[in-house]
Structure 1
Amino acid sequence: MDVPGIPQALAQALAQAASAQRVALVGGAVRDLLLHRVHNDPWRGVPDLDLVADGSAIALVRRLEALLPPGALRAAQEHGAYGTVEVELRLDGQTVLLDVATARRETYPQPGENPRVVPGLLADDLARRDFSINAIALDLASGELLDPHGGQADLQRRELRLLHPHSLRDDPSRLVRGARYAARLGFRLEAGSHEQARRTLAAWPWAWHSGERPGQAPAALGTRLRMEFELLLLREPWPAALAILQDWGGLTLLDARIQADRHWRRRLQWAGRAGVPLMVALVAGAADPLALAERLQLPHRQHRLLAQWQELRQRLAALQPAAGGRGGPASVADWCSALEAPGGSPEAVLLALITGTAPRRPLLRWWLRWRHLKAPHTSAELIARGMRPGPALGAELRRLRQERLALERP
C-alpha cells in the first residue's frame, strides 16, 4: 500500500529497516489514508508519520540514518522515559516528520494518573490506544493492514468507539480528544462510548489533590486536560469541537459553570479578535478561574493575566455604586484610576471587555482614547519652567492629566 507523503527514498529505507526489526505505520496517518485524506502536521503542513517498532526506537532511527542519503536526518530528539524519538528528515526537497516509538503496553495504577509504561509488542501498542479508528497499523515489511479492534468498520460507520470499558475512567482527557476528532472528521460518538462518557462524568468532579487515592484526580490529569484543550483550541475548528464536548457534558471536566455556560462562543470569538489567549477566555467562565488555572497548570503569563483580571474586577465592582448612587456617576478619572492601577495591564482590561465585567462604554473609551491622553505639558517643559525632578514633578504631571481627563465625557 502506497502512503502519500512518504518520499521514495524513505519508503525504501523503511522497507529495509523493517526486514531486521518489525516496524508499522500507526495512528492518524493510517486512519487518514483509509479516509482518503492527507495527514500533515497542522503547524508546518508537512507529512507527519507515527512509527512503532518492536524493540528500540533509537536503534530504528540509527538504522534509518545509515540507509538514507547523507544529511537527510536533520534532527532527532530522544525521549527516553517514553521510548520515543522525534525525527525531522529532508529528502528530495521535502520535509518529513517522524515520531518513532518503541512498542509498549501500559497500565493505569489509579484513575486519571499517568500510566505505567513497559516495552511490549505491536499488538500491545495498538491495544493501549484511545479509539478503534486510531488502533489500525500498516506493517511496513509485509504491507499487511492490521486492524485487531475493528477500526475500519467504525471508519465506515463514521463512529468514535472507545477501545476499552474503562478508557475514560483511566484518562478522562480522551473525551476532549474525541471531541477534536468528531469536529475534524464529522464523526459521532458510538452509543456504548456515549454511555461510558455519561457514567464517567456522573462521577465527576473528583477531588483535586496530589495523591493517588481512588476517586480523586491527580495533578497529572490536570496537565493532560490542559494539553488536550490547547490542541482543541489551536488545531481544530474549536466552535464545533467545544459545542460537541458541551453536548456530551464534557466541559464538566473543567468546571460545572463552564458546562452550563451558553456564552463561551462569543467570549472566545472576541478573545481571538483581541489577541487574548483562547484558553484564558475559556477558563474565565469558571466559578473560580484562578483555582482552575492552577489545576490545569496554565503558563505563568496566562495565570498572571487571570489574576490581574480578578483584581480589576474588584476595583470595577467598587465603582458600580458610584455609577448610579447618590454620589453621581463615576468620573473619567475614577475609571482611569481603576483601570490603570499598579500591577494591572491593558490585557486585563481587554479580558474585562470580553467577559462583560463592567459596562462596555467606559472600557472601550479607555482602550481607544483615555489611556492615550497625557498631561498637556511634558516633564521637560515643567523642568524648563523651574520645577525640579522628583516626586513633586510626578505629582504635578498626574494633576495636569487629571484636569485633562475631567474634560472628557464618561
Structure 2
Amino acid sequence: MSSAVDVPGVPEPLPQVLRTVATQQRLALVGGAVRDLLLHRVHNNPWRGVPDLDLVVEGRASDLVRRLERALPPGALVGAQEHGAFGTVELELAIDGQAVLLDVASARAETYPMPGENPIVQLGALADDLARRDFSINAMALDLASGSLLDPHGGQADLRRRQLRLLHGASLRDDPTRLVRGARYAARLGFQLEAASLQQTGETLASWPWGWRPGDPPGQAPPALGTRLRMELELLLEREPWRPALAALQRWGALALLDRQLQLDRRWRQRLWWAQRFGLPLMVALVAGAADPLALAERLQLPHRQHRLLAQWLELRRRLTEAGSLPADAALWCALLEAPGLSPEAVALALAAGGLRRRPLLRWLLHWRHVRAPLSARQLIAAGWRPGPALGAELRRLRSQRLAGERC
C-alpha cells in the first residue's frame, strides 16, 4: 500500500520528505486522512479533502520537526507552533505555491483517573496512541517508512460495514464526548453506530457513571460534560450537517448529556432552523430547549454574549407571561420590547423558540422598531423646543402617533 502514503492534493516533494525522516524516527499518518484515503481508494467514496494532516511520531515531536525542517526545500516551513507538555507542533508549509498544514504529535498513552475527567497522558508507542482513539475507523495508521497500513482494531472491516465501533467497553464512561464525534461521523459519512456500541451507549447513559449529576453546581461538572462537550458541539454545529448529526444524538439518547428535557425535545429542528434564518448562534437555540438554559450555558461555559442572549430571552418571556393581557397596539408592543435589558436578538430568539405570540414579535423585529417620529430632534429644536427630557418625550409621542396606524 505504499501508494496510499501519497494523499491527493498534497504537493511533491512532501511525501518523499516524510518517508525520509520516517526512517530515523517512527512516523505515521493517522486519523481522518487514513480513514478517508481508504474510503476513497478502496470503497470509491468521493475524496473529501483533508484540511490538515495528522502525524504521530514515537518520541519527541520536536525532534522530528527539526529533522523535517532540514529535509524540506528552503523556505518551505512558514511557521511552527508548539502546544502542550508533550510538544504537539502545528506546522504551516508552503510547497510549490500550495499551503499545507501538518500536526505532529508525540505518540502517547493515556489513563482516565475519573470518568469524564481529563486523562493522564504519558509518552508511548504508536500502538498506545491508536488504542486511545474514539472509533476503530479512526484507529488506523500508515507507517510512512514502510507504507504499510496498521489496523490493530479492525477499522477496515468497519469501513466495509459502514459502521462506528467504539474501541473498548469503557470508551464512553471515560469520555462521553466520543458520542458527539460519532454523530459528526454519522452525519458526514452516513455510518451507523454498531450494535455493541449502541448497547454501551444505553447502558452508560442509564448508569450515569460521572460524579456530577444534573442539578449539581454547573461549574463542578467534569470537562467531558462541560467545556469539552461544548467544543465538540460547536464543531458539530459549525462544520457538519447538523440536522442528521443531532438526530443521531437524540436517537442514541445522547442529548441527555446536555439535558433530559432536551433529549425529549421535538422542536429543536424548527428552533435551529429559525435561528439560522435570523443569524443567531445555533448553540444558543439548542440550549434554549433545556429545562434550565442558564445552568446549561454555565456548565458548557458558553461565551458571555451567548449567555447574555439566553438571559435576555428568558427575561422577555417572563415579562410577556406576567403581563397577562398583551398589548393591543403597536406603540405598546414597542414600549415593551424596547425596554432596557432586551435586544433585537432576544426577540429573534423568542420567535425561534416559540411559545409566544408570533405576529407582533415578528412585526416589531421586521418593521415597527425601524419606525421613527415624523419630525427629527433637529427639526423640533428649530421649531423652538429645547434639548432635554421634554424633547425626548415629544419624539416618543410623535412616534407613538405614527405607530397608532399600524396593524397589531
Does the TM-score normalized on the shorter chain lie above 0.5?
Answer: yes
Please show how residues 8-407 of structure 1 align to structure 2 within 5 Å: 8-36=12-40, 37-38=46-47, 40-41=49-50, 47-204=51-208, 206-207=212-213, 217-219=221-223, 221-319=225-323, 321-323=324-326, 330-407=328-405
1:232-254 deviation line (CA, Å, top 9, x unaligned): 11111111111111110011111
Provide the secondary structure at the position in 2 that maps to 1:371.
Answer: helix
Q: Could you tell me whether the CA contact under 8 Å between 1:130 and 1:163 is conserved in 2?
A: yes
Distance 2:382 2:86 in 1: 67
**Structure 2 counterpart of 1:40, which letter?**
G
CA 1:286–1:211: 2 relative to 1, 3 Å = closer
CA 1:83–1:40: 2 relative to 1, 3 Å = farther
**1:360 deviation in Å?**
1.1
The answer to which of 283-292 and 3-12 deviates more is 3-12
Provide the secondary structure at the position in 1 that maps to 2:13.
Answer: helix
Q: Could you tell me whether the CA contact under 8 Å between 2:176 and 2:224 is conserved in 1?
A: no
**1:339 deviation in Å?**
1.1
**Structure 2 counterpart of 1:333, which letter?**
A
Q: Could you tell me whether the CA contact under 8 Å between 1:210 and 1:219 is conserved in 2?
A: no
**1:211 deviation in Å?**
11
Q: Could you tell me whether the CA contact under 8 Å between 2:218 and 2:299 is conserved in 1?
A: no
**Structure 1 counterpart of 2:115, which letter?**
P
Provide the secondary structure at the position in 2 that maps to 1:52.
Answer: strand
Distance 2:49 2:226 in 1: 28
The answer to which of 170-179 and 394-403 deviates more is 394-403
The answer to which of 81-90 and 372-381 deviates more is 81-90
**1:73 deviation in Å?**
1.5
**Structure 2 counterpart of 1:302, which letter?**
Q
Structure 2 residue runs without a partner (length 5+): 41-45
Distance 1:147 1:332 in 2: 66
Provide the secondary structure at the position in 1 that maps to 2:168.
Answer: coil
**Structure 1 counterpart of 2:374, which letter?**
P
The answer to which of 161-170 and 77-86 deviates more is 77-86
**Structure 1 counterpart of 2:47, which letter?**
V
> Which residue does the alignment assign to 1:326?
none
**Structure 2 counterpart of 1:137, which letter?**
A
**1:387 deviation in Å?**
1.6
**Structure 2 counterpart of 1:243, which letter?**
A
**1:191 deviation in Å?**
1.1
Structure 1 residue runs without a partner (length 5+): 42-46, 324-328
**1:220 deviation in Å?**
5.2
**1:129 deviation in Å?**
0.6
> Which residue does the alignment assign to 2:43?
none
1:18-59 deviation line (CA, Å, top 9, x unaligned): 111110000110011111153534xxxxx4211000111122
Identity %: 71
**1:135 deviation in Å?**
0.6
Structure 2-normalised TM-score? 0.93
Provide the secondary structure at the position in 2 that maps to 1:8.
Answer: coil
Q: Could you tell me whether the CA contact under 8 Å between 1:33 and 1:39 is conserved in 2?
A: no
1:2-31 deviation line (CA, Å, top 9, x unaligned): 322332211111111111111000011001
Distance 2:28 2:48 in 1: 16
1:262-309 deviation line (CA, Å, top 9, x unaligned): 111111111111111111111111111111111111111111111111
Q: Could you tell me whether the CA contact under 8 Å between 2:21 and 2:67 is conserved in 1?
A: yes
